[in-house]
Amino acid sequence: MIFKSKAFRFDVFNWSDSYLRLPEIPSAITSYNGRLFAFGQSKIYRIDPETLVVEETIPGAGCFGQRSLCITELGIFFADANGIYLTDGQNLHHIGAAIRDTLDSNGVSWRQMRHNNGDPVLLYSPELKQVHCITYSSHGTSYSFCYHIPTKRWDIWSVPQVTNDGNGDPLYPGTSFGVVGKHGEMNWFQFDGALRIAGDLGERLPYVWKSKRFLLGAPTQLKRFYEFSVDAESINGDPISSIYVMVVDGEAASVNSGGRHPTKTYGKWCEFHIFGNGVTPGNDIIRNITLLFRRMVGLR
């Protein structure tokens, strides 16, 4: 049930008539754009805060808990066991469909996370234009599924657990929460420690970017890969510091900084990996990757 306080008297309630009975106990409640939103296990209830009337019930998604949502200028980002969502109060978008099963070639995915160890924590940084969903994994390492709003791109960051019981599990499940600072830094707090996720907007760390697996329209057909090129430049005129790797059928086919002819020319699929050393922060701008290939008709 949801109770409404008297106007300008937040500690006074008329419990006999100023309440709303929902079909289920809400797991999280928040407000957006003049409306109240109550989240259940698989439904969202949009409520008029003046009349306490449910205006609309949006099926298809729920929310883990109060820590598993955040408010942005686009709407409400929230998470449940099936993925991460965005709603503007009218429409529901499953933005986490791309990470539900597999995000990278290492098999890291949303379904792989151990959500029973504690609710994921959602944080929004207005400076970075990113939504981070930090969730527990095993073996002492958690992950932050990072959604960049302008490009609608997903990245995954490895996040060390501040506390664990020696087996990689949280020492006190469900005690973590997050706070975003005035400069966009995201702070993740646990029972006996804190971790700053992005404190310096000018600092860059070594990174690895991995593309999806490109089947090129024919998963079982052999292809010949002639060459690939990377459209990249350094904003201050320095040499490109990133390293590009083309992977063909699981084998590294080329390692160079300019992108030319792969050393392994035949295969059924390929991936592209980009490694940044973090020494020259923010200098490399990588626009696109171009691949020239041909399907080998009649060969498998």
pLDDT tens per residue across span 199-247 = 444 555 667 788 888 999 899 999 999 888 888 777 666 667 777 888 8
Instruction: For residues 117 and 212, state if they share a domain.
Output: no
Instruction: For residues 266 and 163, state if they share a domain.
Output: no
Instruction: For residues 160 and 66, state if they share a domain.
Output: yes
Note whether residue 175 is domain-resident: yes
Note whether residue 300 is domain-resident: no
Overall pTM > 0.85: no
CB burial of residue 299 (10 Å; 0-12, 13-18, 19+): exposed
Q: What is the mean pLDDT of residues 235-261?
A: 73
Note whether residue 88 is domain-resident: yes
Give the residue from 196, 231, 261 where a domain finishes: 196
Note whether residue 202 is domain-resident: no
Taking only the tens place, the pLDDT of each residue in 135-167 is 765 555 677 888 999 888 888 877 765 454 444
Q: Which of 42-56, 115-129, 193-207, 234-248 has the lowest mean pLDDT?
A: 193-207
- Reply yes or no on whether the pLDDT at 172 is more than 90: no
Look at 39 and 119; give whichever has higher pLDDT. 39
When divided into structural domains, the chain yields a total of: 2
Instruction: For residues 239 and 265, state if they share a domain.
Output: yes
Taking only the tens place, the pLDDT of each residue in 180-197 is 666 666 666 554 455 555
Instruction: For residues 189 and 273, state if they share a domain.
Output: no
Instruction: For residues 14 and 122, state if they share a domain.
Output: yes
Q: How far is CA 136 from CA 72, 140, 164, 182, 194, in A?
A: 24, 9, 11, 26, 15
Domain containing 261 equals 207-295
Indicate the average pLDDT of the chain: 78
- CATH code of the domain covering residue 268: 2.60.120
Instruction: For residues 170 and 229, state if they share a domain.
Output: no
Closest CA to 253 of 224, 231, 233: 224
Q: What is the mean pLDDT of residues 17-37?
A: 89
Instruction: For residues 92 and 227, state if they share a domain.
Output: no
Q: Is the dihedral of CA 116, 118, 119, 122 positive or negative?
A: negative
Give the residue from 138, 171, 196 where a domain finishes: 196
Give the residue from 196, 230, 259 where a domain finishes: 196
Q: Residue 260 has what pLDDT? A: 66
